[in-house]
Structures are given as C-alpha cells and as structure tokens.
Amino acid sequence: MAQSKFDPRLVRRAQDGDGLAREVLLRRLAQVFKNYFRAKVGNQAIVDDLMQCALIRVHSGLSALKHPDRFKAFAMKAALFELHDYYRGRHSPKEQTYDTQILSEKAEAASDRFESTLDIERVLSVLTPHVRRILELREYGYKYKEIANILGTTETAVKMQVKRAFEKMRNVFAEE
C-alpha cells in the first residue's frame, strides 16, 4: 500500500528523537512551505524567512503534538500563523521608519489640540461599509492589490475608494 511522505510513523520517530527521521520530515515539509509561501507572497527573501520561521515553529512544537496522524493540520496551522503574522507585521510599528516618527511628531506639534478631540467613531461613520471593509483589510496588512483580489475588483478601483474616503474624512477633520 502506498505510504504518505508524512507517515505518522515517521512523525513519531522524529518526536522520539530520531535525528534522521526529523531531518527527513522537515526537509519534506520545507518543500510544502516553500511552494505555499511562494504562491502567497512571491518575494524570495520573504519566502525564505517565512519558510524558516514556519519550520522552527514545527520543530519546536513537534514534541508536543499528541497525535502524529494530525501532522498535516499541525503544519498547516504553522504556515497560517506565520503568513498572517507577516501580513500584520507589514504595518506594525516596528516596520515604521524613523522618518515616520519624525513626521508624526511634526504632525502632532501642528495639530495638538485637534488630536485630543478627534472622535474616531464619528469620522468612521461617514464611510460606507464597503470602504470600511477596504480600510480594515488594509490595516490587517493586505496590500491594495491583494485587497482587490479578495474583493474581486481592480487595484485602481480600491485605491480610488480609499482616496475618496480620505477626502471625506478630511472634511470631518476640518470640523473637529
């Protein structure tokens, strides 16, 4: 009978400290991760980073996997966690540049009074659900092109929606 490359017996051996079994298992899994992240992200350097992080996640969590026959789901979750951590990290503070901090300080200095009184919910209420969806997807970490794919539209259309939203909000900012 044909056997899976990720046969539970191989997983069990890897868990039990068989160095070669672990090496074989992770090498096979690396190919899955590589194909997956390449399809999702494209950029080779990022693909390599994600692949390494996902492999480390599997490597460090393998001994705690109670059911070797669930290795596929275990690996899948490792990939999803890494992919979505990566999406989130695109816009996280650690990704912001020093320039952005300086810009923020200058903006704060120029609009100190305004900042403390801005009613965010009121500003957001002027947006349509569609635009809010776009903004939320963008803050989740997706790029305009990816949002366009998710929503079945074009990147240009998405960007135009965001620009219009900005103009609407700008008017509200002016009233604040």
Partner 1 sequence: MHDSGMEQFDKIDAILHEGGLTLEERQSFMEALESDPDLARSYAGWQQICAHLRSRLPDTHLFVLYSLVTGGHAGELSEEESDEIRANWGVVDRVVESHPGFAEAAVQIEQDRQDFLECWDQVDRPLRKLPSWSYRIAAVIAILAVCFVAVLTLRDSDTALQTIAAASGEYERVELPDGSVAHLNGPATIRFDERDFVRSVTFNGQAFFDIIHQSDPFTVQTDEAFIHVLGTRFGVRSQQGATHVVLESGQVEVASNAQGLPTVMLEPGQMTKVTDGAPPGPSSQVELENALSWTGFIFLRQTPLSRAATLLSESRNVRVEVDPSLVNETVTGTFAPDAEIEEILNALALALGTVVHTEGGVFRIAP
Which residues, numbered 45-64, are part of the site for partner 1 (CB under 8 A)? Answer: none
Distance, CA of 90 to CA of 93 (rounded, Å): 9
Residues 11-50 that bind partner 1 (CB under 8 A): 13, 18-21, 23-24, 27-28, 31-32, 35-36, 39-40
Whose Cβ is closer to partner 1: residue 13's or residue 55's? 13
Tell me how far, at minimum, the Cβ of 116 lies from partner 1, in Å.
Answer: 11
Residues 153-172 that bind partner 1 (CB under 8 A): 162-164, 166-167, 169-170
Collapsing DSSP to helix, strand or coil, 44 comes out as helix
Nearest to 9 by CA among 61, 81, 58, 68: 68
Residues 87-126 that bind partner 1 (CB under 8 A): 88, 91-92, 99-100, 102-104, 106-111, 114-115, 118, 120, 123-124
DSSP 95: G
Tell me how far, at minimum, the Cβ of 80 lies from partner 1, in Å.
Answer: 5
Tell me how far, at minimum, the Cβ of 76 lies from partner 1, in Å.
Answer: 5
Is residue 6 within 8 Å of 71, Cβ to Cβ?
Answer: yes
Residue 176 near partner 1 by CB under 8 A: yes
Is residue 135 within 8 Å of 162, Cβ to Cβ?
Answer: yes
141: left (phi over 0), alpha (psi -120 to 50) or beta: left
Residues 69-88 that bind partner 1 (CB under 8 A): 70, 72-77, 79-81, 83-85, 88
Tell me how far, at minimum, the Cβ of 164 lies from partner 1, in Å.
Answer: 8
Q: Which residues have a Cβ under 8 Å from the Cβ of 152 and sit 6 or more positions away?
A: none
The one-letter amino acid code at 67 reads H
